[in-house]
Chain A
Amino acid sequence: MHRPFGLLAELTHRCPLHCAYCSNPVIGVTSADEMSTGQWISVFDQARALGVLQLHLSGGEPLLRPDLTELVSGASRLGLYVNLVTSGVGLDAARAADLAAAGLDHVQLSVQDSDVAAADAMAQARVTTHKRHAARSVVDNGMALTVNVVLHRHNIERIPAIVELAVALGADRLELANTQYYGWGFRNRSALLPTRRQVAEAEVSVANARAAVGDSFEILYVLADYHESFPKPCMHGWGARHIVVQPDGTVLPCLAAAEITGLRAERISDRSLAEIWELSDAFTRFRGNAWMKEPCRSCSRRDVDFGGCRCQAFLITGDATRTDPVCPLSPDHHVVVEAVDAQTRQTVLARRVNPRPRPSAGDVRPLDRSHHERTTHDDGMGISAQL
């Protein structure tokens, strides 16, 4: 039997930023449905008993939870390695000191860009000063700091300046992660995908930067999935190592799985985490390789890349049992090639919005997007975006 190693806790789907590449589900959980402190601590306790070593406190923006220090403290007492994934908005010196004292091991701070105007345009907020203070607060309190930059067409050519910025912020590591196309990112794919030339140049920039910084500073590079020759071994296999818990206690094998319609996800209030991990439809549907169709079923790489990503297969083809279209052997591979080759650019970015109360049962209607597509303005990246 597999055992989980990591738990990603999406404490809230609320966020002060509105990044167009966000991988959160487009229809998020509202604050009224968020779990209580006690419910989260119970999740951590059950996860630890299952063998989980690491806890990633994520969101949305986890700093919006007033009980964050209490959650860190509870997880740390259980022996979990605790990582905070944050935009840094709201992370001042006092809060950082509290979190460090509670046992926080590591902070992953998102940075949108080395260019201030472009960073603020992507976040739809003035974030640069917040991030500088947040980085300083983390380092001054002795916690490890990774700066995470999501790469896309509009910032990928600034890798050298981004590396300089991360070093100047006092980070221990820099993660350069090409956009993964889920949630809002999938909706904005054609506005975010880099060109083949940009990706080739980025790989050279990363190699040069690694040589320049030496072995004192780690630079991680997450590949541009759509541009690769093989699909990514997503999550090291479905339901194999990781658990994601959404703000309302829904338990999933990965953060994008909420978008696979028909997958029966259960909540932590329904049954124990152990039972959900071992038995639920959400975790067992694609575990192992019995679900595979051709060309995966007979492929020599079926236990290397596990057929790629189920969520990506679903988003692109509507069928989560198909081969990840990133794979050249996939009958749907042309969709990925055409997306990369497309010269036409999406002109409007669908901006991440915070979850709103769902309509009541008597008021079911198609998702009305007009309230967040009121006006457009040029955001300085040559593309328009909603305010």
Chain B
Amino acid sequence: MIAPAPLNLDRPALRRGVRLSTDPQTGDPVLLFPEGALLMNETAARIVAICDGTRTVTSIVNTLSGEYTSASADDIVELIDTLVGQYLMVRNA
């Protein structure tokens, strides 16, 4: 039996000045920030969109597990860690 993931009560959100948009050329999601842009796939964009500063990581994982995106809890936590490391997201809004 797999042990349940520990509760993660961080409430991540995009940092001020960072926003999700759409690439006018490809229609793909893109994260825009002061000095650049990060092209994203639909799954990453869905995760970013739900990180609104009110939901905990545990709640985000539970919400997304019921969706077609099929992002695992590890994928979600890893994406949040990456974006925090790139100063695009804060762990707690």
**Which A positions have Cβ atoms within 8 angstroms of B?**
3, 5, 48-49, 51, 53-54, 79, 81, 83, 105-106, 108, 142-146, 172-173, 215-216, 218, 220
Contact = CB atoms under 8 A, between A and B. Distances in A.
B34 A83 contact: yes
Contacts of B85: 215
Contacts of A215: 84-85, 87
Given A5-B37, A53-B30, A216 B90 contact: yes
B41 interface: no
A105 B36 CA distance: 13
Contacts of B33: 81
Contacts of B87: 173, 215, 218
Contacts of A172: 15-17
Given A51-B24, A173-B87, A142 B32 contact: no
A105 B25 contact: no
A78 to B, nearest CB: 9
B75 interface: no
Contact of A54 (B18, B32, B84, B90): B32
Nearest to A216: B90
A105 B17 contact: yes
B16 A142 contact: yes
Nearest to B32: A81
A96 to B, nearest CB: 14
A222 to B, nearest CB: 11
A105 B37 contact: no
A161 B30 CA distance: 36
B19 interface: yes
23 contacts: A48-B24, A49-B24, A51-B24, A53-B23, A53-B24, A54-B37, A81-B19, A81-B33, A83-B34, A106-B17, A106-B34, A108-B34, A142-B16, A143-B16, A144-B15, A144-B18, A145-B17, A172-B17, A215-B84, A215-B87, A216-B90, A218-B87, A220-B35
Q: B interface, how many residues as a size bin?
A: 20 to 34
B24 A144 contact: no
B8 interface: no
A146 B34 contact: yes
B22 interface: yes
Contact of A53 (B17, B34, B37): B37
Closest 7 CB pairs of A and B: A144-B17, A218-B87, A81-B32, A51-B25, A144-B16, A106-B34, A106-B17
Interface in B13-59: 15-19, 21-25, 30, 32-37
Contacts of B15: 144, 172
A79 B34 contact: no
Contact of B32 (A3, A49, A53, A218): A53
A142 B15 CA distance: 12
A280 to B, nearest CB: 21
A142 B16 CA distance: 8
Q: Which of A48, A51, A105, A146 has most B Cβ within 10 Å?
A: A105
Contacts of B84: 215
Contacts of A144: 15-18, 34
A62 to B, nearest CB: 16
A100 to B, nearest CB: 12
A173 B24 contact: no
A79 B27 CA distance: 13
A167 to B, nearest CB: 15
Contacts of B22: 79
A177 to B, nearest CB: 11
Given A108-B34, A142-B16, A3 B24 contact: no
A49 B23 CA distance: 11
Nearest to B21: A79
Nearest to A48: B24
Nearest to A82: B32
A79 B84 CA distance: 25
A54 B18 CA distance: 12
A48 B23 CA distance: 10
Contacts of B32: 53-54, 81, 105
A53 B17 CA distance: 14
Contact of A143 (B17, B23, B30): B17
